[in-house]
Chains A and B, each alone.
Chain A
Amino acid sequence: MSLLNGITYGLLLFMLSSGLTLIFSMMGILNFAHASFYMLGAYFAYQISTWVGFWPGLLVAPLIVGAVGAAVERYGLRRAHRFGHVAELLFTFGLAFVVEEVVQLIWGKVAVDYRIPAELDGTLFTLFSTDFPIYKGFMMLISVGMLVALYALLTRTRIGLIIQAALTKPDMVEALGHNVPRIFMLVFGGGTALAGLAGVIGGNAFITEPGMAAAVGSIVFVVVVVGGLGSLGGAFVASLLIGCIQTFSVALSISVTDVFALIGVSLPQGSQVARLTITQLAPVLPYLLMVGILIFRPRGLMGARES
Protein backbone atom coordinates (compact mmCIF):
# COMPACT_ATOMS: atom_id res chain seq x y z
CA MET A 1 0.00 0.00 0.00
CA SER A 2 2.82 2.35 0.87
CA LEU A 3 4.37 1.32 -2.41
CA LEU A 4 1.29 2.39 -4.36
CA ASN A 5 1.16 5.68 -2.48
CA GLY A 6 4.85 6.18 -3.10
CA ILE A 7 4.48 5.53 -6.81
CA THR A 8 1.55 7.93 -7.03
CA TYR A 9 3.54 10.64 -5.31
CA GLY A 10 6.62 9.78 -7.36
CA LEU A 11 4.72 10.08 -10.63
CA LEU A 12 3.45 13.47 -9.53
CA LEU A 13 7.01 14.52 -8.75
CA PHE A 14 8.05 13.32 -12.17
CA MET A 15 5.50 15.56 -13.86
CA LEU A 16 7.22 18.46 -12.16
CA SER A 17 10.80 17.33 -12.52
CA SER A 18 10.49 16.29 -16.18
CA GLY A 19 9.62 19.86 -17.15
CA LEU A 20 12.35 21.28 -14.95
CA THR A 21 15.00 18.97 -16.33
CA LEU A 22 13.96 19.52 -19.96
CA ILE A 23 14.14 23.27 -19.46
CA PHE A 24 17.45 22.98 -17.69
CA SER A 25 19.22 20.80 -20.21
CA MET A 26 17.97 22.79 -23.16
CA MET A 27 18.35 26.35 -22.00
CA GLY A 28 20.74 25.94 -19.07
CA ILE A 29 18.21 27.68 -16.84
CA LEU A 30 17.57 26.29 -13.40
CA ASN A 31 14.00 27.48 -13.11
CA PHE A 32 13.47 28.36 -9.48
CA ALA A 33 9.90 29.33 -10.24
CA HIS A 34 8.99 25.90 -11.57
CA ALA A 35 7.01 24.90 -8.49
CA SER A 36 5.19 28.23 -8.68
CA PHE A 37 3.60 27.01 -11.89
CA TYR A 38 2.54 23.90 -10.01
CA MET A 39 0.83 26.16 -7.49
CA LEU A 40 -0.76 28.26 -10.23
CA GLY A 41 -2.15 25.05 -11.75
CA ALA A 42 -3.83 24.18 -8.46
CA TYR A 43 -5.27 27.67 -7.95
CA PHE A 44 -6.51 28.03 -11.53
CA ALA A 45 -8.14 24.61 -11.31
CA TYR A 46 -9.75 25.62 -8.02
CA GLN A 47 -11.09 28.84 -9.53
CA ILE A 48 -12.41 27.07 -12.58
CA SER A 49 -13.95 24.32 -10.46
CA THR A 50 -15.98 26.91 -8.53
CA TRP A 51 -17.44 28.13 -11.81
CA VAL A 52 -17.90 25.08 -14.02
CA GLY A 53 -16.62 22.09 -12.06
CA PHE A 54 -13.47 19.98 -11.91
CA TRP A 55 -13.35 18.41 -15.37
CA PRO A 56 -13.05 21.54 -17.52
CA GLY A 57 -10.36 22.76 -15.11
CA LEU A 58 -8.35 19.58 -15.62
CA LEU A 59 -7.94 20.53 -19.26
CA VAL A 60 -8.05 24.32 -19.19
CA ALA A 61 -5.90 25.10 -16.13
CA PRO A 62 -2.71 23.43 -17.45
CA LEU A 63 -3.21 25.20 -20.79
CA ILE A 64 -3.46 28.58 -19.07
CA VAL A 65 -0.41 27.79 -16.95
CA GLY A 66 1.48 26.75 -20.10
CA ALA A 67 0.48 30.00 -21.82
CA VAL A 68 1.66 31.99 -18.81
CA GLY A 69 4.92 29.99 -18.87
CA ALA A 70 5.46 30.62 -22.58
CA ALA A 71 4.82 34.34 -22.05
CA VAL A 72 7.29 34.40 -19.16
CA GLU A 73 9.93 32.86 -21.42
CA ARG A 74 9.18 35.11 -24.39
CA TYR A 75 8.93 38.44 -22.59
CA GLY A 76 10.91 37.84 -19.42
CA LEU A 77 13.60 35.20 -19.64
CA ARG A 78 14.61 35.97 -23.20
CA ARG A 79 15.40 39.52 -22.16
CA ALA A 80 17.14 38.44 -18.96
CA HIS A 81 19.18 35.97 -21.03
CA ARG A 82 21.16 38.81 -22.63
CA PHE A 83 22.60 39.64 -19.24
CA GLY A 84 23.82 36.12 -18.56
CA HIS A 85 22.91 33.16 -16.41
CA VAL A 86 23.00 34.99 -13.11
CA ALA A 87 20.35 37.40 -14.37
CA GLU A 88 18.20 34.47 -15.50
CA LEU A 89 18.59 32.74 -12.17
CA LEU A 90 17.65 35.88 -10.26
CA PHE A 91 14.73 36.40 -12.59
CA THR A 92 13.22 32.99 -11.89
CA PHE A 93 13.99 33.37 -8.20
CA GLY A 94 12.18 36.69 -8.09
CA LEU A 95 9.34 35.28 -10.15
CA ALA A 96 8.71 32.63 -7.50
CA PHE A 97 8.17 35.36 -4.90
CA VAL A 98 6.00 37.41 -7.22
CA VAL A 99 3.76 34.43 -7.94
CA GLU A 100 3.43 33.67 -4.25
CA GLU A 101 2.48 37.27 -3.43
CA VAL A 102 0.01 37.48 -6.28
CA VAL A 103 -1.61 34.23 -5.21
CA GLN A 104 -1.95 35.58 -1.67
CA LEU A 105 -3.45 38.82 -2.96
CA ILE A 106 -6.08 37.06 -5.01
CA TRP A 107 -6.92 33.99 -2.97
CA GLY A 108 -5.75 34.94 0.51
CA LYS A 109 -3.18 33.46 2.87
CA VAL A 110 -5.16 30.45 4.00
CA ALA A 111 -5.77 27.26 2.08
CA VAL A 112 -8.65 27.32 -0.40
CA ASP A 113 -11.33 24.67 -0.47
CA TYR A 114 -10.21 22.82 -3.59
CA ARG A 115 -11.73 19.37 -3.35
CA ILE A 116 -11.62 16.06 -5.08
CA PRO A 117 -14.70 15.80 -7.33
CA ALA A 118 -17.49 13.70 -5.82
CA GLU A 119 -17.36 11.06 -8.55
CA LEU A 120 -13.72 10.32 -7.77
CA ASP A 121 -14.17 10.41 -4.02
CA GLY A 122 -14.30 6.89 -2.70
CA THR A 123 -12.42 3.66 -2.40
CA LEU A 124 -11.07 1.90 -5.45
CA PHE A 125 -10.12 -1.30 -3.66
CA THR A 126 -9.09 -2.48 -0.23
CA LEU A 127 -5.81 -4.23 0.32
CA PHE A 128 -4.71 -5.60 3.71
CA SER A 129 -7.54 -3.63 5.30
CA THR A 130 -6.24 -0.31 3.91
CA ASP A 131 -8.36 1.63 1.45
CA PHE A 132 -6.87 2.78 -1.82
CA PRO A 133 -8.79 5.87 -2.90
CA ILE A 134 -10.16 6.16 -6.43
CA TYR A 135 -8.50 9.55 -6.71
CA LYS A 136 -5.02 8.11 -6.26
CA GLY A 137 -5.76 5.70 -9.08
CA PHE A 138 -6.93 8.64 -11.17
CA MET A 139 -3.71 10.52 -10.42
CA MET A 140 -1.69 7.53 -11.52
CA LEU A 141 -3.71 7.22 -14.70
CA ILE A 142 -3.19 10.87 -15.61
CA SER A 143 0.53 10.77 -14.76
CA VAL A 144 1.19 7.60 -16.73
CA GLY A 145 -0.86 8.96 -19.61
CA MET A 146 1.20 12.15 -19.65
CA LEU A 147 4.39 10.17 -19.44
CA VAL A 148 3.51 8.04 -22.44
CA ALA A 149 2.40 11.12 -24.39
CA LEU A 150 5.61 12.95 -23.54
CA TYR A 151 7.72 9.97 -24.55
CA ALA A 152 5.85 9.58 -27.84
CA LEU A 153 6.18 13.29 -28.57
CA LEU A 154 9.91 13.27 -27.96
CA THR A 155 10.77 10.08 -29.83
CA ARG A 156 8.16 9.78 -32.57
CA THR A 157 7.66 13.27 -33.92
CA ARG A 158 9.76 15.71 -35.88
CA ILE A 159 9.43 18.41 -33.27
CA GLY A 160 10.53 15.89 -30.65
CA LEU A 161 13.60 15.12 -32.71
CA ILE A 162 14.43 18.81 -32.92
CA ILE A 163 13.94 19.15 -29.16
CA GLN A 164 16.21 16.18 -28.49
CA ALA A 165 18.90 17.65 -30.71
CA ALA A 166 18.54 21.09 -29.16
CA LEU A 167 19.06 19.57 -25.71
CA THR A 168 22.73 19.14 -26.50
CA LYS A 169 23.56 21.55 -29.34
CA PRO A 170 21.07 24.39 -29.68
CA ASP A 171 23.44 26.50 -31.81
CA MET A 172 23.87 23.76 -34.39
CA VAL A 173 20.15 23.10 -34.51
CA GLU A 174 19.57 26.77 -35.22
CA ALA A 175 22.28 26.80 -37.89
CA LEU A 176 20.38 23.97 -39.59
CA GLY A 177 17.46 26.33 -40.03
CA HIS A 178 15.22 25.50 -37.08
CA ASN A 179 13.62 28.30 -35.11
CA VAL A 180 15.26 27.47 -31.79
CA PRO A 181 13.92 30.48 -29.86
CA ARG A 182 10.42 29.28 -30.69
CA ILE A 183 11.31 25.73 -29.62
CA PHE A 184 12.59 27.15 -26.32
CA MET A 185 9.31 28.94 -25.80
CA LEU A 186 7.35 25.78 -26.57
CA VAL A 187 9.46 23.66 -24.22
CA PHE A 188 9.16 26.22 -21.46
CA GLY A 189 5.41 26.45 -22.05
CA GLY A 190 5.13 22.66 -22.20
CA GLY A 191 7.22 22.15 -19.08
CA THR A 192 5.21 24.66 -17.10
CA ALA A 193 1.96 23.19 -18.43
CA LEU A 194 3.08 19.80 -17.06
CA ALA A 195 3.79 21.45 -13.71
CA GLY A 196 0.36 23.06 -13.92
CA LEU A 197 -1.28 19.69 -14.57
CA ALA A 198 0.55 18.25 -11.58
CA GLY A 199 -0.90 21.12 -9.56
CA VAL A 200 -4.41 20.46 -10.84
CA ILE A 201 -4.38 16.83 -9.73
CA GLY A 202 -2.10 17.33 -6.73
CA GLY A 203 -3.68 20.46 -5.29
CA ASN A 204 -6.87 18.72 -4.20
CA ALA A 205 -5.17 15.50 -3.15
CA PHE A 206 -2.88 17.40 -0.79
CA ILE A 207 -3.60 21.05 -0.02
CA THR A 208 -3.91 24.23 -2.05
CA GLU A 209 -2.29 27.08 -0.17
CA PRO A 210 0.35 29.77 -0.86
CA GLY A 211 3.10 27.69 0.75
CA MET A 212 2.63 24.70 -1.55
CA ALA A 213 5.15 25.92 -4.11
CA ALA A 214 7.91 26.23 -1.55
CA ALA A 215 6.99 22.87 -0.03
CA VAL A 216 7.25 20.91 -3.26
CA GLY A 217 9.86 23.10 -4.95
CA SER A 218 12.80 21.97 -2.88
CA ILE A 219 11.83 18.30 -3.29
CA VAL A 220 11.71 18.72 -7.05
CA PHE A 221 15.23 20.12 -7.01
CA VAL A 222 16.35 17.12 -5.00
CA VAL A 223 14.78 14.87 -7.63
CA VAL A 224 16.55 16.63 -10.46
CA VAL A 225 19.92 16.60 -8.70
CA VAL A 226 19.63 12.96 -7.66
CA GLY A 227 18.48 11.90 -11.11
CA GLY A 228 21.18 13.89 -12.83
CA LEU A 229 20.69 17.36 -14.26
CA GLY A 230 19.28 17.13 -17.73
CA SER A 231 18.38 13.46 -17.67
CA LEU A 232 14.72 12.55 -18.16
CA GLY A 233 15.31 8.89 -17.32
CA GLY A 234 17.19 9.88 -14.19
CA ALA A 235 14.42 12.24 -13.16
CA PHE A 236 11.94 9.40 -13.56
CA VAL A 237 13.89 6.96 -11.41
CA ALA A 238 14.65 9.61 -8.81
CA SER A 239 11.02 10.73 -8.65
CA LEU A 240 9.82 7.22 -7.90
CA LEU A 241 12.68 6.66 -5.48
CA ILE A 242 12.00 9.79 -3.49
CA GLY A 243 8.25 9.29 -3.68
CA CYS A 244 8.71 5.85 -2.14
CA ILE A 245 11.31 6.94 0.41
CA GLN A 246 9.00 9.62 1.70
CA THR A 247 5.91 7.47 1.97
CA PHE A 248 7.71 4.41 3.35
CA SER A 249 9.67 6.29 5.93
CA VAL A 250 6.54 7.90 7.34
CA ALA A 251 5.24 4.42 8.09
CA LEU A 252 8.42 3.16 9.76
CA SER A 253 8.74 3.64 13.47
CA ILE A 254 12.19 2.22 14.08
CA SER A 255 14.70 4.64 15.54
CA VAL A 256 18.24 5.57 14.65
CA THR A 257 19.43 3.31 17.47
CA ASP A 258 17.65 0.37 15.84
CA VAL A 259 19.22 1.09 12.47
CA PHE A 260 22.68 1.16 13.96
CA ALA A 261 21.89 -1.96 15.99
CA LEU A 262 21.17 -3.72 12.69
CA ILE A 263 24.72 -3.14 11.54
CA GLY A 264 26.05 -4.09 14.95
CA VAL A 265 26.81 -0.68 16.37
CA SER A 266 25.20 0.32 19.63
CA LEU A 267 24.75 4.00 20.22
CA PRO A 268 24.97 5.53 23.70
CA GLN A 269 21.57 5.58 25.35
CA GLY A 270 19.94 8.86 26.16
CA SER A 271 21.25 10.74 23.15
CA GLN A 272 18.56 12.85 21.46
CA VAL A 273 19.65 11.92 17.98
CA ALA A 274 19.66 8.21 18.75
CA ARG A 275 16.02 8.28 19.81
CA LEU A 276 14.75 9.95 16.63
CA THR A 277 12.55 7.60 14.64
CA ILE A 278 12.69 7.25 10.88
CA THR A 279 9.23 8.83 10.77
CA GLN A 280 10.57 11.93 12.41
CA LEU A 281 13.47 11.97 10.01
CA ALA A 282 11.26 11.46 6.94
CA PRO A 283 11.30 15.06 5.73
CA VAL A 284 15.08 15.16 5.90
CA LEU A 285 15.74 11.89 4.08
CA PRO A 286 15.49 13.22 0.51
CA TYR A 287 18.00 15.93 1.34
CA LEU A 288 20.34 13.42 2.96
CA LEU A 289 20.05 11.38 -0.23
CA MET A 290 20.89 14.47 -2.28
CA VAL A 291 23.93 15.26 -0.17
CA GLY A 292 25.04 11.63 -0.48
CA ILE A 293 24.64 11.72 -4.25
CA LEU A 294 26.50 15.00 -4.52
CA ILE A 295 29.39 13.53 -2.57
CA PHE A 296 29.62 10.13 -4.21
CA ARG A 297 28.20 10.69 -7.68
CA PRO A 298 28.00 14.42 -8.45
CA ARG A 299 26.51 13.94 -11.89
CA GLY A 300 23.48 12.14 -10.44
CA LEU A 301 22.14 8.69 -11.17
CA MET A 302 21.98 9.15 -14.93
CA GLY A 303 23.29 12.64 -15.54
CA ALA A 304 25.39 13.09 -18.63
CA ARG A 305 27.31 16.15 -17.64
CA GLU A 306 28.72 17.70 -14.53
CA SER A 307 27.27 21.08 -13.92
Chain B
Amino acid sequence: MTKPMLEIADLHAYYGKSHVLHGVHLHVNAGEIVCLLGRNGVGRSTTAKAVMGQVVAKGDIRLKGKDILGRKAYEIARLGVGYVPEDRSIFPDLTVRQNLMLGVKDAKAIGRWNIDDMYALFPRLKERENTPGGVLSGGEQQMLTLCRTLMGDPDLIMIDEPTEGLAPKIVEQVGIFLQEVRNRGISILLIEQKLAIALDISERLYLMGHGHIVFEGTPADLKNNEAIRKEWLEV
Protein backbone atom coordinates (compact mmCIF):
# COMPACT_ATOMS: atom_id res chain seq x y z
CA MET B 1 0.00 0.00 0.00
CA THR B 2 1.26 3.46 -0.77
CA LYS B 3 1.87 5.83 2.06
CA PRO B 4 -0.85 8.41 2.80
CA MET B 5 -0.19 11.95 1.61
CA LEU B 6 -0.71 13.29 5.11
CA GLU B 7 -0.78 11.38 8.38
CA ILE B 8 -1.44 12.99 11.73
CA ALA B 9 -1.29 10.99 14.96
CA ASP B 10 -1.61 11.98 18.62
CA LEU B 11 -1.22 15.68 17.85
CA HIS B 12 -1.21 18.07 20.78
CA ALA B 13 -0.96 21.84 20.50
CA TYR B 14 -0.87 24.70 22.95
CA TYR B 15 -1.49 28.44 22.88
CA GLY B 16 0.46 29.58 25.88
CA LYS B 17 -0.96 27.54 28.75
CA SER B 18 -4.18 26.47 27.09
CA HIS B 19 -4.14 23.03 25.58
CA VAL B 20 -6.03 23.26 22.26
CA LEU B 21 -5.46 19.93 20.55
CA HIS B 22 -5.78 16.71 22.58
CA GLY B 23 -4.35 13.94 20.44
CA VAL B 24 -5.82 14.60 17.00
CA HIS B 25 -5.41 11.86 14.42
CA LEU B 26 -6.36 11.88 10.75
CA HIS B 27 -4.99 10.99 7.36
CA VAL B 28 -5.45 12.11 3.77
CA ASN B 29 -4.68 9.67 0.98
CA ALA B 30 -3.21 10.72 -2.35
CA GLY B 31 -5.83 12.21 -4.67
CA GLU B 32 -8.49 12.39 -1.97
CA ILE B 33 -10.66 15.22 -0.68
CA VAL B 34 -10.98 14.90 3.08
CA CYS B 35 -13.13 17.28 5.07
CA LEU B 36 -12.39 18.35 8.63
CA LEU B 37 -15.65 19.56 10.12
CA GLY B 38 -16.56 21.18 13.40
CA ARG B 39 -17.80 24.30 15.08
CA ASN B 40 -15.72 27.40 15.60
CA GLY B 41 -12.95 27.06 18.13
CA VAL B 42 -12.73 23.28 18.28
CA GLY B 43 -9.21 23.26 16.83
CA ARG B 44 -9.67 22.72 13.10
CA SER B 45 -7.59 25.73 12.07
CA THR B 46 -5.02 24.94 14.72
CA THR B 47 -4.62 21.47 13.21
CA ALA B 48 -3.87 23.03 9.83
CA LYS B 49 -1.50 25.55 11.38
CA ALA B 50 0.31 22.75 13.20
CA VAL B 51 0.84 20.94 9.89
CA MET B 52 2.13 24.20 8.44
CA GLY B 53 4.55 24.65 11.35
CA GLN B 54 2.86 27.83 12.53
CA VAL B 55 1.95 26.67 16.04
CA VAL B 56 3.98 24.76 18.59
CA ALA B 57 2.80 21.15 18.59
CA LYS B 58 3.75 17.69 19.83
CA GLY B 59 2.92 14.35 18.26
CA ASP B 60 3.43 12.96 14.80
CA ILE B 61 2.85 14.67 11.43
CA ARG B 62 4.04 12.90 8.32
CA LEU B 63 3.95 14.07 4.72
CA LYS B 64 4.40 11.21 2.25
CA GLY B 65 5.89 9.25 5.16
CA LYS B 66 8.36 11.95 6.09
CA ASP B 67 8.28 13.52 9.56
CA ILE B 68 7.63 17.25 9.17
CA LEU B 69 6.80 18.28 12.74
CA GLY B 70 9.10 21.00 13.98
CA ARG B 71 10.20 22.12 10.55
CA LYS B 72 9.91 25.73 9.45
CA ALA B 73 6.84 26.83 7.51
CA TYR B 74 8.72 27.58 4.30
CA GLU B 75 10.40 24.16 4.39
CA ILE B 76 7.04 22.44 4.81
CA ALA B 77 5.65 24.49 1.92
CA ARG B 78 8.58 23.45 -0.21
CA LEU B 79 7.96 19.80 0.62
CA GLY B 80 4.62 20.15 -1.14
CA VAL B 81 2.03 21.59 1.23
CA GLY B 82 -0.16 24.47 0.12
CA TYR B 83 -2.11 26.36 2.75
CA VAL B 84 -5.02 28.73 2.29
CA PRO B 85 -5.77 30.37 5.64
CA GLU B 86 -9.24 31.39 6.72
CA ASP B 87 -8.65 35.11 6.11
CA ARG B 88 -7.38 34.27 2.58
CA SER B 89 -4.35 36.50 3.19
CA ILE B 90 -4.39 38.30 -0.13
CA PHE B 91 -1.66 40.91 -0.40
CA PRO B 92 -3.99 43.88 -0.77
CA ASP B 93 -1.59 46.39 -2.32
CA LEU B 94 -0.16 43.99 -4.88
CA THR B 95 -1.89 43.28 -8.18
CA VAL B 96 -3.66 40.04 -8.96
CA ARG B 97 -0.76 39.04 -11.15
CA GLN B 98 1.80 39.82 -8.46
CA ASN B 99 -0.23 37.85 -5.94
CA LEU B 100 -0.18 34.86 -8.25
CA MET B 101 3.54 35.20 -8.94
CA LEU B 102 4.20 35.14 -5.20
CA GLY B 103 2.76 31.64 -5.14
CA VAL B 104 5.71 30.43 -7.17
CA LYS B 105 8.27 29.02 -4.75
CA ASP B 106 11.19 28.77 -7.08
CA ALA B 107 11.41 31.05 -10.10
CA LYS B 108 13.46 28.50 -12.04
CA ALA B 109 11.37 25.38 -11.46
CA ILE B 110 8.57 24.50 -13.84
CA GLY B 111 5.50 23.30 -11.98
CA ARG B 112 2.31 21.60 -13.05
CA TRP B 113 0.51 24.93 -13.27
CA ASN B 114 1.36 28.24 -14.81
CA ILE B 115 -0.35 31.58 -14.77
CA ASP B 116 -2.21 30.94 -18.03
CA ASP B 117 -3.79 27.78 -16.58
CA MET B 118 -5.10 29.95 -13.75
CA TYR B 119 -6.49 32.52 -16.15
CA ALA B 120 -8.09 29.75 -18.17
CA LEU B 121 -9.77 28.39 -15.05
CA PHE B 122 -10.90 31.82 -13.91
CA PRO B 123 -11.09 34.31 -16.80
CA ARG B 124 -12.20 36.87 -14.24
CA LEU B 125 -8.69 36.91 -12.76
CA LYS B 126 -7.24 37.63 -16.20
CA GLU B 127 -9.60 40.59 -16.57
CA ARG B 128 -8.49 41.97 -13.23
CA GLU B 129 -4.82 41.09 -13.72
CA ASN B 130 -3.55 44.57 -12.87
CA THR B 131 -6.03 45.38 -10.12
CA PRO B 132 -4.81 45.45 -6.52
CA GLY B 133 -5.87 42.26 -4.74
CA GLY B 134 -7.48 44.25 -1.95
CA VAL B 135 -10.31 45.59 -4.11
CA LEU B 136 -11.51 42.21 -5.39
CA SER B 137 -14.82 40.80 -4.22
CA GLY B 138 -14.85 38.02 -1.63
CA GLY B 139 -15.41 35.35 -4.29
CA GLU B 140 -12.65 36.70 -6.51
CA GLN B 141 -10.27 36.82 -3.56
CA GLN B 142 -11.06 33.20 -2.75
CA MET B 143 -10.24 32.21 -6.31
CA LEU B 144 -7.09 34.27 -6.25
CA THR B 145 -5.85 32.67 -3.05
CA LEU B 146 -6.61 29.16 -4.35
CA CYS B 147 -4.82 29.88 -7.61
CA ARG B 148 -1.89 31.45 -5.78
CA THR B 149 -1.50 28.23 -3.80
CA LEU B 150 -1.67 26.11 -6.95
CA MET B 151 1.11 28.21 -8.51
CA GLY B 152 3.38 26.73 -5.85
CA ASP B 153 2.73 23.26 -7.30
CA PRO B 154 1.63 21.57 -4.07
CA ASP B 155 0.80 17.87 -3.61
CA LEU B 156 -1.55 18.63 -0.73
CA ILE B 157 -3.68 21.71 -0.18
CA MET B 158 -5.21 22.63 3.16
CA ILE B 159 -8.06 25.08 2.74
CA ASP B 160 -9.64 26.80 5.72
CA GLU B 161 -13.33 27.64 5.18
CA PRO B 162 -13.24 28.56 1.50
CA THR B 163 -17.00 29.04 1.34
CA GLU B 164 -17.26 31.39 4.30
CA GLY B 165 -19.25 34.49 3.41
CA LEU B 166 -19.71 33.60 -0.26
CA ALA B 167 -22.93 33.57 -2.27
CA PRO B 168 -24.38 30.08 -2.95
CA LYS B 169 -23.53 30.29 -6.61
CA ILE B 170 -19.86 31.03 -5.87
CA VAL B 171 -19.79 28.29 -3.23
CA GLU B 172 -20.86 25.85 -5.94
CA GLN B 173 -18.06 27.14 -8.19
CA VAL B 174 -15.50 26.63 -5.43
CA GLY B 175 -16.75 23.05 -5.05
CA ILE B 176 -16.35 22.36 -8.77
CA PHE B 177 -12.91 23.90 -8.73
CA LEU B 178 -11.76 21.74 -5.81
CA GLN B 179 -12.95 18.59 -7.58
CA GLU B 180 -11.10 19.69 -10.70
CA VAL B 181 -7.93 20.13 -8.66
CA ARG B 182 -8.43 16.71 -7.03
CA ASN B 183 -8.91 15.12 -10.46
CA ARG B 184 -5.46 16.33 -11.38
CA GLY B 185 -4.05 14.25 -8.52
CA ILE B 186 -3.79 16.76 -5.71
CA SER B 187 -4.95 15.84 -2.21
CA ILE B 188 -7.15 18.29 -0.37
CA LEU B 189 -7.80 18.77 3.32
CA LEU B 190 -10.92 20.90 3.41
CA ILE B 191 -11.80 22.64 6.66
CA GLU B 192 -15.48 23.52 6.94
CA GLN B 193 -18.07 24.53 9.45
CA LYS B 194 -21.10 23.88 7.31
CA LEU B 195 -22.00 20.76 5.42
CA ALA B 196 -22.60 22.89 2.29
CA ILE B 197 -20.12 21.40 -0.17
CA ALA B 198 -18.48 19.01 2.28
CA LEU B 199 -20.97 16.19 1.79
CA ASP B 200 -20.96 16.48 -2.01
CA ILE B 201 -17.28 16.54 -2.78
CA SER B 202 -15.46 14.74 0.05
CA GLU B 203 -14.44 11.10 0.02
CA ARG B 204 -14.21 11.01 3.78
CA LEU B 205 -15.04 13.30 6.68
CA TYR B 206 -13.68 13.90 10.15
CA LEU B 207 -15.71 15.70 12.76
CA MET B 208 -13.90 17.56 15.48
CA GLY B 209 -15.05 18.63 18.93
CA HIS B 210 -13.06 20.10 21.82
CA GLY B 211 -9.65 19.39 20.38
CA HIS B 212 -10.08 15.80 19.24
CA ILE B 213 -11.78 13.78 16.51
CA VAL B 214 -15.27 12.67 17.55
CA PHE B 215 -16.38 11.01 14.33
CA GLU B 216 -14.89 9.74 11.10
CA GLY B 217 -16.56 8.20 8.10
CA THR B 218 -18.01 8.70 4.65
CA PRO B 219 -20.51 11.44 3.77
CA ALA B 220 -23.23 8.76 3.82
CA ASP B 221 -22.26 7.70 7.36
CA LEU B 222 -22.56 11.26 8.58
CA LYS B 223 -25.87 11.82 6.80
CA ASN B 224 -27.33 8.81 8.59
CA ASN B 225 -25.98 9.74 12.00
CA GLU B 226 -28.28 12.47 13.17
CA ALA B 227 -27.25 12.23 16.83
CA ILE B 228 -23.63 13.02 16.13
CA ARG B 229 -24.55 15.88 13.81
CA LYS B 230 -26.84 17.37 16.47
CA GLU B 231 -24.21 17.11 19.17
CA TRP B 232 -21.12 18.36 17.33
CA LEU B 233 -22.19 20.31 14.30
CA GLU B 234 -25.63 21.82 14.20
CA VAL B 235 -26.44 24.87 16.22
Interface residues of A (CB under 8 A from B): 158, 161-162, 164-165, 168-169, 171-181
Given A175-B85, A177-B77, residue A165 in contact with residue B91 (CB < 8 A): yes
- Whether A178 contacts B105 by the Cβ 8 Å rule is yes
Interface centre among B74, B89, B101, B152 (most CB of A within 10 A): B74
Chain A residues, Cβ within 8 Å of B70: none
The listed residue (B73, B92, B102) touching A161 by CB distance below 8 A is: B102
A sample of 12 cross-chain residue pairs with beta-carbon separation below 8 angstroms, ordered by A number, consists of A158-B101, A161-B94, A164-B91, A165-B91, A165-B94, A171-B89, A172-B85, A174-B74, A176-B102, A177-B152, A178-B102, A178-B105
The yes or no answer to B78 lying at the interface (CB within 8 A) is yes
The listed residue (A165, A168, A169, A176) touching B77 by CB distance below 8 A is: A176
**Chain B nearest CB, measured from A158 CB (Å):** 6
Q: How large is the interface on B (under 10, 10 to 19, 20 to 34, 35 or more residues)?
A: 20 to 34
Q: Which residue of B lies closest to A159 (CB)?
A: B107
Interface of B is mostly: loop
Complex alpha-carbon distance, A146 and B72, angstroms: 34
- Whether A175 contacts B54 by the Cβ 8 Å rule is yes
- Whether A176 contacts B94 by the Cβ 8 Å rule is no
The listed residue (A158, A169, A180) touching B91 by CB distance below 8 A is: A169
- Report B89-109 residues with CB < 8 Å from chain A CB: 89, 91-94, 98, 101-103, 105-107
Q: Which residue of B lies closest to A182 (CB)?
A: B74
Complex alpha-carbon distance, A214 and B78, angstroms: 44
**Chain A nearest CB, measured from B71 CB (Å):** 12
**Chain B nearest CB, measured from A183 CB (Å):** 10
Q: Which residue of B lies closest to A183 (CB)?
A: B74
Q: Which residue of B lies closest to A164 (CB)?
A: B94
Given A161-B101, A164-B94, residue A172 in contact with residue B89 (CB < 8 A): yes
Given A161-B101, A165-B102, A171-B54, residue A176 in contact with residue B72 (CB < 8 A): no
Complex alpha-carbon distance, A165 and B85, angstroms: 16
Complex alpha-carbon distance, A113 and B94, angstroms: 47
- Report B30-72 residues with CB < 8 Å from chain A CB: 52, 54, 72
